[in-house]
């Protein structure tokens, strides 16, 4: 089965018209028509956006049927775009907050910060500040690793 046949079959299985697939994927209607008629072969970002709109991986559209296991085909067809947990953000936030807390304690124990009724609040504020910086760094790292 060719990729144009797979795209047409998956589009129909999802109950989409060519126009609806065009709207959801951002690929022009004429391009989708040419792909389904076998006049054009989708590559790169076009293949990826069409596959995403059809809720499958682009590998499913490229691989020959004998290369795809039954489990892979079933999960690719039914898989929806899910929530991606922000591990980097969480990690950098925890590391940043821990580091801020330790720095605050060191400053209080070395008498750099006054050991008064506000000493604990200062340590807590420092932990939040450095944790927030860790969150920003984590978001940046995550954006660079996903793309």
- Mean pLDDT for all residues in the chain: 77
CATH code for the domain defined by 3-78: 1.10.260.40
Rounded CA-CA distance 51/45 in Å is: 10
Sketch the domain layout of the chain as residue ranges. Answer: 3-78, 87-146
Residue 71 above 50 pLDDT?
Answer: no
Residue whose token pair is 């299985």? 13
Residue 114 above 60 pLDDT?
Answer: yes
Please write the tens of the pLDDT for every residue from 14-57. Answer: 888 889 888 888 888 999 899 888 888 877 888 888 888 888 87
> DSSP secondary structure string, 82-105?
-PPP-HHHHHHHHHHHHHHHHHHH
Choose from 15-19, 90-94, 105-109 the range with maximum mean pLDDT: 15-19
Name the burial class of residue 119, with classes exposed (0-12), middle (13-18) and buried (19+) by CB atoms within 10 angstroms of its CB.
middle
């Amino acid at each position: 089965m060719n990729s144009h046949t797979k795209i047409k079959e998956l589009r129909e299985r999802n109950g989409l018209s060519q126009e609806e697939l065009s709207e959801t994927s951002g690929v022009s209607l004429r391009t989708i028509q040419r792909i389904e008629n076998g006049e054009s072969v989708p590559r790169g970002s076009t293949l990826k956006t069409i596959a995403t709109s059809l809720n499958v991986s682009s590998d499913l559209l490229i691989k020959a049927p004998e290369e795809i296991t039954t489990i892979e085909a079933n999960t690719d067809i039914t898989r929806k775009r899910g929530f991606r947990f922000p591990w980097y953000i969480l990690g950098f936030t925890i590391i940043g907050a821990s580091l801020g807390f330790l720095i605050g304690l060191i400053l209080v124990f070395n008498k750099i910060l006054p050991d008064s009724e506000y000493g604990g609040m200062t340590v807590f504020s420092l932990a939040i500040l450095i944790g927030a910086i860790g969150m920003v760094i984590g978001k940046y790292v995550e954006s660079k690793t996903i793309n």
